[in-house]
Amino acid sequence: MEQTISQLFDLSGKTAIVTGGAAGIGKAIAFRLAEAGANVVVSDINLDNARATVAEIRNAGFKARENQTDTSKPASAQRTIQETLAAFGDLHILVNNAGVYPFSSASDLTEEIWDRTLNINLKGTMFFAQAAAKAMMEKGHGGKIINLASVDAFHPTGNLAAYNASKGGVVMLTKALAQEWTPKGVTVNAIAPGPIMTSGAAAPAGLTQEQLAGMLQGVVATIPLGRIGQPDDIARVALFLASQGADFISGATIVADGGYLVG
């Protein structure tokens, strides 16, 4: 064996950006990458939340710094990459996690909801990936880009047409970028989470505790594993894709859904 398991998953000396890294899945990913030794930039539109997450990571003995960004704006991507290079001198990993999922029936879907969802979820993924890949290539060592898709890219759950379209786009965009950039040393992969228990999912607006309990029971019934996923279930997959263990993987979408799509 050329490397031990611990060496394969050691990210010491690497620098990673996690968009939407202040909460939920992004926060869990930021912690796992930092735990593996990476310098982590927690990039989020909510700067106060990003600072709080960075404080938690640092208190745990790991390295991190906050960054405020609006992933719907390509200029914000450029600024985030430059701030990262100024702070840590390099960039090796990008996790495009930031996203929104506004509920609306297709009949009532507005142009505003459509544009906001596609701009954050799909356009943001494209232009953050573009800015990061350029930096990685210029450094001459390549890197790893990990995009957050969703099982909704393959199976619509209802009243999320804009979100479904955006995540379907992320899956195909991942393949297209991998085709272009893998020969230049930048691998591009995606993760498609199933139902995950985040703060937003745990407290949907307008639901009573009884309604929430009923909804969650219904969701669990669709998952063969028998439970809703936790943010760390996705963070572990992200750690794998960011590590040398995934060096021969590019253009793939790893589904992490407890068997939901085959249930």
Backbone dihedral angles phi then psi of residue 117, each to the nearest 5 degrees: -65, -45
Query: Is 84:66 a contact under the CB 8 Å cutoff?
Result: no
Measured CA distances, 14 to 132, 162, 189 (Å)? 14, 35, 18
- Exactly one of 163, 181, 240, 260 is catalytic; name it: 163
The single-letter code of the amino acid at 29 is I
What is the number of residues in the chain?
263
Contacts of 111 (CB under 8 A, 6+ apart): none
Determine the Cα–Cα distance for residues 65 and 53; give it in Å rounded to an integer: 9
196's CB contacts (< 8 A; 6+ apart) are: 24, 25, 228, 229, 230, 231, 233, 234
Query: What tokens does 224 get?
Result: 């063969």
Residue 163 among the catalytic residues: yes
**Active site members:** 163
